[in-house]
Amino acid sequence: ASSTAHKQQDINHLLDKIYEDTKYPDLQEIAKNFNPLGDTSMYNDQGAAAEVLMKELNDHRLLEQHHWYSLFNARQREEALMLFAVLNQCKVWHCFRNNAAYFREQMNEGEFVYALYVGVIHSKLGDGIVLPPLYEITPHMFTNSEVIDKAYSAKMTQKAGTFNVSFTGTKKNKEQRVAYFGEDIGMNIHHVTWHMDFPFWWQDSYGNHLDRKGELFFWVHHQLTARFDFERLSNWLDPVDELHWDRIIREGFAPLTSYKYGGEFPVRPDNKHFEDVDGVAHVHDMEITENRIYEAIDHGYITATDGHTIDIRQPKGIELLGDIIESSMYSPNAQYYGSLHNTAHVMLGRQGDPHGKFNLPPGVMEHFETATRDPSFFRLHKYMDNIFKKHTDSFPPYTHDDLEFAGMAVDGVAIDGELITFFDEFQYSLINAVDSGESIEDVEINARVHRLNHKEFTYKITVSNSIGSDHLATFRIFLCPIEDNNGITLTLDKARWLCIELDKFFQKVPSGTHTIHRSSKDSSVTVPDMPSFHSLKEQADNAVNGGHDLDLSAYERSCGIPDRMLLPKSKPEGMEFNLFVAVTDGVKDTEGHNGDHDHGGTHAQCGVHGEAYPDNRPLGYPLERRIPDERVFDGVPNIKHVVVKIVHHP
């Protein structure tokens, strides 16, 4: 068996300078001499998946190298998934590594990187490996053209350099005020990784069921939308408006970003009328799909392919709704309900060249790592979020009895430390963006970005347990706006849909009154800063050379809001928000799950790898249903909210 250190080293080498042939002799040797069909006993499927891919390769049907790649392109996705299937069928690491090394030199680089990432994430063999941050593997997808050009020039002239990345747009564009959110490299990683953890193309025949994928699809995007609105509120902007197929797309977008191969990302001008996109969909088809989904919500059931109906006015309803809206392979009837989300991404991505007259490459909306740059991403997701809201609003509100956790009371909620946000400076390497030459040495080339950050703080939650014994409790912490951007006080029913989840954790509460301390660092919503590619290489090499093992488990998951972005930016003069804490019965909430109450530490929005989602309650509980009468919440001792102030230090 290979140690984690060896595996990590293999992955590092496979991803180094992805647009060039590998420079590592062992990988060169494999690429030349390995035969994927040589020993089929190394696969669970006796080489069936490898045979499929080898046939495509030998028939010269695979996409060439040095060409753009998009997951939303059906044929390109099919090819990437052929390689994923091969890697996923491997029983042993050398099978995984050898196939990766072989197909690295045969397949399109974008397809290869995608297949390798989802392979490491979903194969048991990938456990313990930390995937390098994508912004250092495919920097073009995260860095604007101006800085990439400077990187090329630095390489040509052999002058090391660190170049400032500015956010897209100018002050004449109000949307630019919140570009720091959609263009944050950590946020981009969160979004692309979530979609790798819960791919829409996933089928359970790959090995396991992805628990609550449809509901998580709703919740993760709902949270992105709510967080974006918090940033808008912090910057004197109206909440994001929803997209409508029959209205103009008010905000245009100029990405000022280029593919490594394939030219510039297309521009969409302001005030564009939605146009039919050749080969993708008619606007009218999108309206029909939307109507069918609204009809299902109003009926309270969806119709499966064989005509039988499935009730959605039940706890699993939101899950099914997520599956049909995305749509994922879990959709019970993709033929009828279409794929509103995925098709809308492509429709928006193509509005700059809807008839393919200019042969432009896919738009930023057609990649999960670039989509959030475009303000229309949030418009699209606000639109879909409102569809989900219509569904959750069809449920009866929670009653006092539903909400009460008898014997448990929250006596006080406070913050230890100040809630302060600021912008930090961060550098990442652009060395993988530029080409190598025989006689041209690499020089250090970095991008410098500004990222939203905050000071660490601790929640102090005082709880009285009068049950008579220790009891497991679930702590659900949200931050909710008090006023809208016009200064009008929001009702709890209005505010609840705008709340952002700050943390959710399970903890035993001893009998009596105790104060629970919880650090912002430990939030199950967030992930820490990822180690750089350079550091991953150094750590793996040192471990391999020194013969010791490597433990990078703290960084294994990169799905999660960046820890730095836990709090909204707020304003220099400070803004007040409601800190909302609901304590619920952890024994009931986690019934049927394992007793490890940490669950990997990133479960809130990203679940637990290979396991069921650890919380039995609906995502967003108890704020996901309408609250016509706030007194119901005020009368429950286990729910409390206090006013907190967040201050931005410019």
Residues placed in the known binding site for Mg(2+): 400, 523, 526, 556, 601, 632
Residue 50 identity: A
What is the greatest pairwise CA distance in the chain?
75
Binding-site residues sit at 191, 195, 221, 341, 345, 381, 400, 523, 526, 556, 601, 632
- Calculate the alpha carbon distances from 492 to 127, 344, 478, 634 in Å: 43, 32, 13, 11
- Distance, in Å, from the CA atom of 618 to the CA atom of 623, rounded to the nearest integer, reads 10
Enclosing H/E stretch for 303: strand 301-303
- Beta strand pairing status for 419-429 and 639-648? parallel
- Distance, in Å, from the CA atom of 231 to the CA atom of 580, rounded to the nearest integer, reads 19
Going by the DSSP 8-state scheme, the letter that residue 44 receives in this structure is: T
The set of residues, in sequence order, having a beta carbon less than 8 Å from that of 492 and lying 6+ positions away, is 627, 630, 633
The DSSP secondary structure of 597-625, one letter per residue, reads: SSGGG-HHHH--TTS--S--SPTTTTSSS
CA angle 452, 455, 460 (to 5 degrees): 130
Q: Which neighbouring-strand residues pair with 422?
A: 453
Binding-site residues for Cu(2+) sit at 191, 195, 221, 341, 345, 381
The set of residues, in sequence order, having a beta carbon less than 8 Å from that of 320 and lying 6+ positions away, is 214, 302, 310, 312, 332
The DSSP secondary structure of 540-604, one letter per residue, reads: HHHHHHHT-----GGGS---SEEGGGSS---BTT-EEEEEEEEEEEHHHHTTTS-S-SSGGG-HH
Other beta carbons within 10 angstroms of residue 418's beta carbon come to 14
Dihedral sign for Cα atoms in the order 634, 640, 645, 646:
negative
Residue recorded with tokens 């304003």:
571
| Tokens, residue 101 | 């090394």
The set of residues, in sequence order, having a beta carbon less than 8 Å from that of 181 and lying 6+ positions away, is 187, 227, 228, 231, 372, 452, 565
